[in-house]
Chain A
Amino acid sequence: MDFSEEQLQDFYRVMFTIRRFEEKVNELFLGGEIPGFVHLYIGEEAIATGVMANLRKTDYITSTHRGHGHTIAKGADLNRMMAEIFGKATGYCKGKGGSMHIADFTIGMLGANGVVGGGYNLAVGAGLAAKLRGQDQVSVCFFGDGASNRGTFHEGLNMAAAWKLPVIFVCENNQWASTTPYRTTTSVENIADRATGYGIPGVVVDGNNVFAVYEAAQAAVERARSGGGPTLLETKTYRIKGHFVGDPEMYRTREEVQQQFETNDPLNNFKQAVLNANSLTEKDLEEIETAVQAAIEEAVDFARESPFPKPEELFEDLYVEGGETL
């Protein structure tokens, strides 16, 4: 394995943080502490982790309704994330966004999006900004298999390809769009096949293998950074949890889910690989787990103890006063 010990530890830290964060959110939601809708990223951790390990703080990402994993992997603060999910004033968006609308502009995380397929063109615009400035920032757009059937997919990919923008389109094909199976709504076996229509590379990769994702993303990021234009990277994965927390999941069997989880859990895949190769020890992994657990407990405490926004904050941040010179 061509990865340093530090890199491997980082992979595991990020994947395990996402897993535990999401399990915690699940528990807190069911316990009635979290309002609204929550979509969990469990089972897809290797994708955000492998892609983001190739990005700089100054690179941009756009995310989806299932955005906690992307946000964590980009380097967001867990306390402010959890507080936002609770609707608290100390959250990233001062409680105005919630689970589906977390952003952190200081790390190039341009926001999760409640509109499926709403992120493509924001990412294209961020890539255009970088290109106009002559900077080598790249922009990554995450989206689901369901989102690939929005018209914005076509408009965004074509524009990015026509203008050779530094954008990487990462499809998380988890086989389900809400209750609808992928192949009942989509004519192609691989969404990446559509790349041909835009004259850009289309790459299919095992989304539950962080090493494979890392390497595929590395090639796409290098290509984008050096002026080669966009790549459509499709990561094959499986949505382990319901579409949202509380989803009765009448559309699939428990056995199907269990079989997927038991045979193809990205965290387990990683563990087996590093332990078999003697790259990390059980102890290394446990140390990471202990630290992550503590950080998540701290985030929950922070969220619980934080105040809700005050009534007078209702209208804050709607308009920014004036402008640069007016």
Chain B
Amino acid sequence: MREITFSQATMEAMAEEMARDERVFLMGEDIARQGGIFGQFKSLPQQFGFDRVRDTPISETAIVGAGVGAALAGMRPVVDMHFVDFITVAMDEVVNQMAKIRYMFGGQCTVPVVLRAPDGAARSAAAQHSQSLESWFVHVPGLKVVIPSNPADAKGLLKAAIRDDNPVLYFENKDLFGKKGPVPEDEFFTPIGKAKVVQEGTDVTIVSYSIMLHKALDAAEQLKADGISAEVIDLRTIVPIDKETLFESVKKTKHLVIAHEATKNGGVGSELAAIVAEELIDYLDGPIRRVGADFVPIPFSPALEPLMLPQVEDIVGAVKEIC
């Protein structure tokens, strides 16, 4: 199969969906002339024009709010947040408007907006350009939240998100943009709400997603040397959680480690650990372990940044503690 980068995969998804459906359009800061923070959409305006690929003012409430309004009026906007850190500026639009409008109005409308949010710590971007904030939205009914780890899912999930009639938050780790992987040439979708067992194993389940999935796979490789067989699950969607895949694996391995780059406190791992503790405690042969970033803003210095971010050794260590 051909190999393309994460960036190319999302570009293909955008171009295919825009060609197919006139209602799909893309807007965000520096999304048209620059092509997004990594220039991945640079050629889109040539194909679809600067109306359907729009550079916006630096007005996050208006970008997200207008995305919601356009969706209510029959369009299917893809809205770019530039950096997930700036979603804070538009929290009302995401939490009180986008997420609630359909339910609050008794199902009279749909809100087919996709909000793309580049996240993750990369290259000393420091405290306000490095966060992973996906867990906040696990707390808000009405949203779907997807978070791919590889080019194929980046394309498949973006296409699925654009076709979904619900609002979807699409988180993409900045350090994954340049990563290559096999992507089918024929059209395909990655189903929202379905996790994937990336590597089978028998002794411990490591649940991860986005960039940490790669560290989880490296950890699994190292654990082999110690005779521990790890099953690695790529969650891919965090709302709604694919409990079926998670539970099946935990019932088999009887041990669970959850790993993500986001802050450990109140992270997605906390929710997953709680679900498993509530519903599968009798299957577990050891405590659940969470691996995530330390509870501190992300520091600038290359000497400090890696210290607070979860590393392969942290996952290996967590597994060894409980197995």
* A contact set with B: CB distance below 8 Å: 60, 62, 91-97, 101, 103-105, 110-111, 113-115, 118, 120-130, 132-133, 137, 139, 151-152, 154-156, 158-159, 162, 316-320, 322-326
Contacts and interface: CB of A to CB of B under 8 A. Distances in A.
Interface stretch (B8-16, B56-64, B175-183): B56-64
A113 B101 CA distance: 9
Nearest to B58: A155
B67 A132 contact: no
Contacts of A125: 65-73, 77
A317 B57 CA distance: 33
Contacts of B160: 323, 326
A118 B108 contact: no
Given A92-B108, A155-B57, A156-B66, 20 more contacts: A92-B105, A92-B106, A94-B107, A97-B105, A104-B108, A105-B72, A110-B69, A114-B96, A118-B92, A118-B97, A121-B61, A121-B93, A122-B69, A124-B66, A125-B73, A128-B70, A128-B75, A137-B73, A155-B61, A320-B110
A96 B73 CA distance: 21
B62 A155 contact: yes
Contacts of B61: 121, 151-152, 155-156
B137 interface: no
A124 B65 CA distance: 8
Nearest to A123: B69
B63 to A, nearest CB: 8
Interface centre among B62, B68, B93, B164 (most CB of A within 10 A): B62
A158 B93 CA distance: 17
A316 B69 contact: no
Nearest to A126: B73
Given A118-B97, A318-B103, A155 B59 contact: yes
B104 A93 contact: yes
Contact of B112 (A62, A93, A154, A323): A323
A230 to B, nearest CB: 13
Given A91-B106, A96-B106, A126 B164 contact: no
Interface of B: 25, 51-52, 56-57, 59-62, 64-75, 77, 92-93, 96-97, 101-110, 112, 141-142, 144, 160, 163-166, 189, 191-192
A103 B108 contact: yes
Nearest to B54: A163
Contacts of A322: 164-165
Contact of A324 (B107, B142, B163): B163
A325 B107 CA distance: 19
Nearest to A309: B106
A114 to B, nearest CB: 8
A105 B110 CA distance: 10
Interface centre among A94, A158, A320 (most CB of B within 10 A): A320
Nearest to B52: A132
B58 to A, nearest CB: 9
A126 B65 CA distance: 10
10 contacts: A96-B104, A121-B68, A121-B93, A125-B71, A127-B69, A132-B51, A151-B61, A156-B65, A318-B102, A323-B112
Given A118-B92, A124-B65, A162-B57, A129 B106 contact: no
A225 to B, nearest CB: 15
Contact of A121 (B66, B74, B96, B164): B66
Contacts of B107: 94, 316-317, 320
Contacts of B144: 319
Contact of B165 (A104, A124, A324): A324
Contacts of A62: 69
Interface centre among A93, A105, A128, A325 (most CB of B within 10 A): A128
A91 B93 CA distance: 25
Contacts of B191: 326
Given A96-B104, A101-B104, A155-B59, A326 B164 contact: yes
A319 B191 CA distance: 16
Contacts of B56: 159
Given A126-B70, A159-B62, A159-B66, A326 B189 contact: yes
A251 to B, nearest CB: 27
A120 B62 CA distance: 8
